[in-house]
């Protein structure tokens, strides 16, 4: 997707909804940081870009957790909503609205989409066999039953899809099934379920998935499913169940995966009502681009089920579904037993959240590759790049200007002007990398530019010149700080708090992509204030050790 700097774009962005049955962890944050960087970049470009998200609140696991705690499900999800929003805020995730799927807007929309599908003969009922746990007195939903994958035979896989090979299947095909709650072997019982005729949308979905809405490797994966034949979708669950009751039934509830993505629309509707915006302008017609960010584990739902639901009910389909890989830590899958299952709150007790934003950006591309958080590399890269190459420019030049030059700046010298123009000329390339989610390339290019600024400063040695030629020293410091302005602007989507500190220090208005292309006058600066601290050796490993600061 090419960058269109002159276009006035209207964009709605979503991240997958975190489940309200657990804390936000570093694996989750890959997606929210990736999304937030893109959103902040679009806002810097001057586009109208809204970021919607919500807690995914329904399903049997929520009900079971609440029962164990002796509280109502509503109390549990209210508590988790506050915790999730606290963690997201700490990591500078800039939602326009962070809502809940357990809302009246979501109920209205889920019922509307279901009734639209029923009216168009896309819903039917079928008697099925499903697993029932006699110990827990409960029909087991897909995620509450585990066993061997029928395709690759990987163990401990859920009842709907395999995390090892991405196969999609019915729970009754699992080998050696057991209840994920109590571990006992369940029994098969009959029940009438409601199905969505997903297979009837095969040709429309083929057309949609081949129209540039997903990356080629994602399209190739979907082609495997098309070849196998798209199966109809069971959208109902039996009582007891925490969720929305299906209209016209007494004991059937919408499967959580039906109403969860509808939360994107419901959150938008809530935000529009609150802020006086036109909801139809966003979710009907072609006025807004709609961009979803998801993990590769929920690819099937967002590229087949979700577009079909939107098509049958007359809502706009996504412009783009961006898919990322999983997080590993020190090359291993996140694991509680190894101490590598790290919650956001645990990280925040030890390290600056912007450091994780930068590290993820430095590793993230647009594809499905997994991202590894290597704690030694993390320490080296943050200390070298963020502290050593960028913040250090402000620190050492600020000290000279404040202590030796009375806080005053002037104009860059000739060599400094050439350096500034070279840095500025890279703006279109950096913009293209942000737009296409090639953050790793953007960070690499920005650090090469930072090297050029630092080389200019080192060659000019203003700490020596200030002793004999204050005018030349002032010109060099001015040029170096002008370079910092452009670098900071390029990094603003990734390091919003640190860049805000740079803006305050240099007494300049908030940086936008447009004003980066022009000279930002620097006349007077404030005393330099500390923006971030180096990571001491071994500090990052405390995340695994679990020690506290």
- Angle among Cα 108, 247, 52 to the nearest 5 degrees reads 25
CA angle 390, 395, 400 (to 5 degrees): 130
Distances (CA, A) of 84 to 74, 81, 88, 98: 15, 5, 6, 10
Cβ-Cβ contacts under 8 Å for 206 (sequence gap 6 or more): 226
Concatenated DSSP letters for 288-336?
SEEEEEEEGGGHHIIIIIHHHHHHHHTPPPPSEEEEE--EEETTEE--T
Question: Residue 6: what pLDDT?
Answer: 41
Strands across the sheet containing 157-158: 157-158, 145-148, 175-179
DSSP three-state, residue 97 = strand
DSSP letter, residue 261: H
Q: Which residue has the tokens 């009900």?
A: 63
Phi-psi region of 153 (alpha: psi -120 to 50; beta: other; left: phi over 0): left
Res 221: pLDDT: 87
Q: Which residues contact 279 (CB under 8 A, 6 or more apart)?
A: 268, 269, 272, 273
264: Cα separation from own chain's centroid: 14
Predicted confidence at residue 2, as pLDDT, reads 38
Rounded distance between C-alpha atoms, residue 111 and residue 409, angstroms:
63
- Closest by CA to 115, choosing from 314, 270, 286, is 314
Residue 249 burial (CB count, 10 A): 13
- CB hemisphere CA count around 170 (13 angstroms): 13
Q: Which pLDDT belongs to residue 549?
A: 34
Q: Kindly report whether the peptide bond that precedes residue 256 is cis, defined as omega within 30 degrees of 0.
A: no
Shortest CA distance to 421 belongs to which of 383, 462, 461, 456? 456
Q: What are the residues whose beta carbons fall under 8 Å from the beta carbon of 346, sequence distance 6 or more?
A: 543, 546
Q: Can you give the pLDDT at residue 53?
A: 98
What domains sit in the chain, N to C, each tagged with a CATH number? 123-196 (2.170.220.10), 392-516 (1.10.730.10)
Neighbouring C-beta atoms of residue 139, cutoff 10 Å = 20
The H or E element that residue 237 is part of is: strand 236-238
> How far lies 248's CA from each of 117, 244, 251, in Å?
14, 12, 10
Give the pLDDT confidence score for residue 141 in this predicted structure. Answer: 79
Residue recorded with tokens 């095909």: 173
> Helix H segments across 368-524?
375-381, 392-404, 414-424, 427-435, 439-460, 462-465, 470-491, 496-506, 513-516
What is the model's pLDDT at position 334?
87
Which of 405, 398, 399 lies closest to 471 in space, CA to CA? 405
Digits of tens for pLDDT over the chain (549 positions)?
A: 334 444 689 999 999 999 999 999 999 999 999 999 999 999 999 999 999 999 999 998 899 899 999 999 999 999 999 999 999 999 999 999 999 999 999 999 999 999 999 999 999 999 999 899 989 888 887 878 999 999 999 999 998 888 888 888 888 899 999 998 899 999 999 999 999 999 999 999 999 999 999 999 999 989 988 999 999 999 999 999 999 999 999 999 999 999 999 999 999 999 999 999 999 999 998 899 999 999 999 999 999 999 999 999 999 999 999 999 999 999 998 887 777 899 999 999 999 999 999 999 999 999 999 999 999 999 999 999 999 999 999 999 999 999 999 889 999 999 999 999 999 999 999 999 999 999 999 999 999 999 999 999 999 999 999 999 999 999 999 999 999 999 999 999 999 999 999 999 999 999 999 999 998 889 889 999 999 999 999 999 999 875 333
Cα end-to-end span (Å), the chain: 44
What is the C-alpha to C-alpha distance for residues 324 and 197, in angstroms, rounded to an integer? 28
Q: Position of tokens 């949308």?
A: 201
């Amino acid at each position: 997707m090419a960058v269109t700097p002159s276009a006035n774009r209207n964009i709605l962005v979503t991240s997958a909804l975190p489940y309200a049955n657990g804390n936000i962890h570093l694996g989750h944050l890959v997606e929210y940081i990736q999304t937030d960087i893109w959103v902040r970049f679009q806002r810097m470009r001057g586009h109208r870009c809204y970021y919607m998200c919500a807690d995914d609140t329904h399903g049997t696991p929520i009900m079971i957790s609440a029962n164990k705690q002796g509280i109502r499900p509503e109390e549990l999800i209210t508590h988790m909503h506050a915790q999730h929003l606290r963690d997201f805020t700490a990591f500078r995730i800039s939602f326009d609205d962070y809502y809940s799927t357990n809302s009246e807007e979501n109920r209205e929309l889920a019922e509307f989409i279901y009734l639209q599908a029923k009216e168009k003969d896309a819903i039917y009922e079928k008697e099925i066999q499903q697993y029932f746990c006699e110990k827990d007195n409960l029909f087991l939903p897909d995620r509450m039953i585990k066993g061997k994958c029928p395709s690759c035979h990987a163990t401990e896989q859920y009842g709907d899809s395999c995390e090892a090979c991405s196969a999609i299947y019915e729970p009754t095909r699992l080998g050696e099934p057991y209840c994920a709650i109590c571990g006992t072997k369940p029994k098969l019982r009959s029940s009438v379920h409601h199905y969505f005729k997903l297979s009837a949308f095969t040709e429309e979905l083929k057309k949609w998935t081949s129209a540039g809405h997903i990356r080629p490797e994602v399209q190739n994966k979907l082609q495997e499913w098309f070849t196998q034949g798209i199966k109809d979708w069971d959208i109902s669950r039996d009582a007891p169940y925490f969720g929305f009751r299906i209209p016209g039934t007494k004991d059937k509830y919408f499967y959580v995966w039906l109403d969860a993505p509808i939360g994107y629309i419901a959150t938008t509707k809530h935000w529009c009502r609150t802020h006086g915006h036109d909801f139809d302008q966003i979710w009907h017609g072609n006025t807004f681009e709609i961009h979803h960010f998801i993990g590769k584990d929920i690819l099937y739902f967002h590229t087949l089920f979700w577009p079909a639901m939107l098509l049958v009910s007359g809502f706009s389909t996504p412009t783009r579904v961006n898919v990322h890989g999983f997080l590993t830590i020190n090359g291993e899958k996140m694991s509680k037993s190894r101490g590598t299952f790290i919650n956001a709150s645990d990280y925040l007790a030890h390290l600056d959240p912007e450091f994780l934003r930068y590290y993820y950006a430095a590793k993230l591309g647009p594809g499905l590759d997994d991202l590894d958080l290597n704690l030694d590399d993390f320490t080296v890269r943050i200390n070298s790049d963020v502290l050593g190459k960028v913040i250090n420019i402000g620190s050492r030049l600020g000290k000279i200007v404040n202590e030796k030059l009375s806080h005053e700046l002037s104009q860059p010298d000739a060599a400094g002007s050439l350096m500034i123009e070279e840095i500025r000329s890279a703006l279109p390339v950096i913009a293209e990398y942000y737009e296409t989610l090639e953050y790793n390339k953007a960070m690499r290019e920005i650090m090469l530019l930072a090297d050029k600024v630092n080389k200019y400063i080192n060659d000019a040695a203003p700490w020596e010149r200030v002793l004999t030629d204050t005018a030349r020293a002032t010109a060099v410091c001015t040029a170096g700080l002008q370079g910092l302005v452009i670098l900071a602007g390029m990094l603003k989507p990734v390091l919003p708090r640190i860049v805000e500190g740079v803006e305050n220090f240099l007494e300049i208005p908030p940086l936008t992509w447009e004003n980066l292309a022009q000279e930002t006058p620097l006349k007077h600066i404030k005393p330099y204030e500390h923006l971030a601290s180096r990571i001491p050796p071994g500090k990052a490993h405390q995340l695994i050790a679990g020690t506290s600061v």
